[in-house]
Amino acid sequence: MSFGDRFGYTRPEPQRTQVERDSDAVRLVLWNAVSRDGKSPLAAYRKLCEYSQQLPDANIWSDTYADESARLLLDQMIWLDVYEALEAEASAMEGPSRAELQKSVNRALSRSGIAYEMRDGRFEFYEPVANEFETRHDEDEAIASLTDEFEPVRKQYLSALRNLRSMPANLESAVADALNALEAVAKIVEAKPHATLGNVARNLFPDSPGYHAPLRIAIEKLYAYSNQLPGARHGRYAEPDIAHAETAMVVRTAGAIITFLITLHRGEAVAENAGADFDFGF
């Protein structure tokens, strides 16, 4: 048990706002992984050559000769290669070894103020609230659904995610791109270039019980929200009072509705309740 654990002390850590960078702490985790905790610089050298897409020097054949070259390779790696190397190391591990690597990676990211975390061996954005409410992958499902006739919309929704996740984030553009993508899906669903999200929302659940009416209104009002937010879909006549968490909620909600509308359009949504006498169709 560490000193901090024994006395109940915690180390103050910076806010996790940094992206598109790594740190010495993160590289140390990679070094320990590829060098077998420092016991084999030669193994580290060969691994880092692979991750850097460089041919190993045939004259480097022992730990003594490899140590300096391996450390130089690690220093020269760009941040993207560092993260991809760590993912590759995690994918080659199982059980406790993989869990320990992931724990070390996330500790290093936290201490460095970096807004990524490793989950199931892959890096994702650090979003503790999304973890708590299990909304993290709503946007991934939307991207996965944007295929075939909806393929043109994918670029716009990806733009919303980039605006949300960039540093600094462009919150107004994230909202605009997400809702524009949602409107584009509505146009394709209705097969009418001038259709709006409201047109589609009003036609949802035509034969369903009345309690679906608020859901139709909620979908339509999300579109109204983007129209009223300064700088989103219209002129930036005032400084918008919008937080990152609010923007993430809007982008994810738009993504969930995109998935929902496409699922309905493709006829894949069927009522699951045994007593239901209607389909979720247009």
For 221-234, how does the pLDDT look when each residue is reduced to its tens digit (9 = 90+)?
Answer: 887 887 778 666 65
Q: Is residue 90 part of a domain?
A: yes
Examine the pLDDT at 135 and tell me if it is beyond 70.
no
Q: What is the mean pLDDT of the chain?
A: 84
Q: Is residue 282 part of a domain?
A: no
Residue 22, pLDDT score: 96
For 240-269, what is the mean pLDDT? 83
Q: Is residue 163 part of a domain?
A: yes
List the domain range (segments joined by +) for residue 59.
3-126
The answer to whether residues 160 and 221 belong to one domain is yes
The answer to whether residues 102 and 143 belong to one domain is no
For 136-151, what is the mean pLDDT? 86
The answer to whether residues 93 and 159 belong to one domain is no
The answer to whether residues 235 and 207 belong to one domain is yes
Alpha-helix runs per DSSP H in the chain: 3-7, 24-34, 41-52, 63-76, 79-91, 95-112, 128-133, 138-145, 151-165, 171-190, 197-202, 213-228, 244-265
Instruction: Average the pLDDT over each of 69-78, 89-98, 129-138, 229-238 and give the range with the smallest value.
Output: 129-138
Instruction: Decide which of 126, 156, 176 is a domain's last residue.
Output: 126
16 falls in which pLDDT band (50, 70, 90)?
confident
The answer to whether residues 161 and 216 belong to one domain is yes
Examine the pLDDT at 44 and tell me if it is beyond 90.
yes
The answer to whether residues 76 and 114 belong to one domain is yes
Examine the pLDDT at 117 and tell me if it is beyond 80.
yes
The tally of domains found in the chain comes to 2
Residue 29, pLDDT score: 98
The answer to whether residues 114 and 156 belong to one domain is no
Amino acid at 190: E
Q: Is residue 281 part of a domain?
A: no
For 204-213, what is the mean pLDDT? 74
Q: Please tell me the distance from the alpha carbon of residue 168 to that of residue 165, in angstroms, as a whole number.
A: 8
Q: Please tell me the distance from the alpha carbon of residue 260 to that of residue 141, in angstroms, as a whole number.
A: 10
The answer to whether residues 41 and 155 belong to one domain is no
Residue 184, classified by CB atoms within 10 Å of its CB into exposed (0-12), middle (13-18) or buried (19+), is buried
131 falls in which pLDDT band (50, 70, 90)?
low
Stated as kind and residue range, the H or E segment containing 119 is: strand 116-119
Residue 234, pLDDT score: 59
19 or 240, greater pLDDT: 19
Residue 195, pLDDT score: 79
Residue 20, pLDDT score: 83
Closest to 17 (Cα-Cα) out of 142, 114, 125: 114
Residue 275, pLDDT score: 43
Q: Please tell me the distance from the alpha carbon of residue 261 to that of residue 254, in angstroms, as a whole number.
A: 10
The answer to whether residues 117 and 181 belong to one domain is no
Examine the pLDDT at 112 and tell me if it is beyond 90.
yes
